[in-house]
Amino acid sequence: MLRCQDVSEQATDYMEHALPVRQWLAVRFHLLICSMCRAYMDQLRKTTRLLARGHLPPPPPDVERRLLDASSRPPVEQPPPEPPV
């Protein structure tokens, strides 16, 4: 029985029918019984379709400025780790 992690690792090969038949069927069976992996696979399929068409939504207009602002700021100080008790 495949785990969800196995399915996510093989998702692309599954969609491209690049898995051996037995492995493809194992993923297929997992998808029948696992709604989380079905949702994941559905999302991956939609994303792949959008990428193939070049139809990605444009980034927000201020994204470039925010990225530049963030990269020019000094790194955030991390608090010192708690001493062991």
* Residues at the site binding Zn ion, with contacts judged by CB under 5 A: 4, 34, 37
Least distance between Zn ion and beta carbon 24 (Å): 15
- Smallest distance from Zn ion to CB 8, Å: 8
> Smallest gap, in angstroms, from Cβ of residue 43 to Zn ion?
13
Beta-carbon contacts of residue 29 (< 8 Å; ≥ 6 apart): 2
Cβ distance to Zn ion smaller for residue 15 or 34: 34
Please, which residue, 40 or 48, has the CB nearer to Zn ion? 40
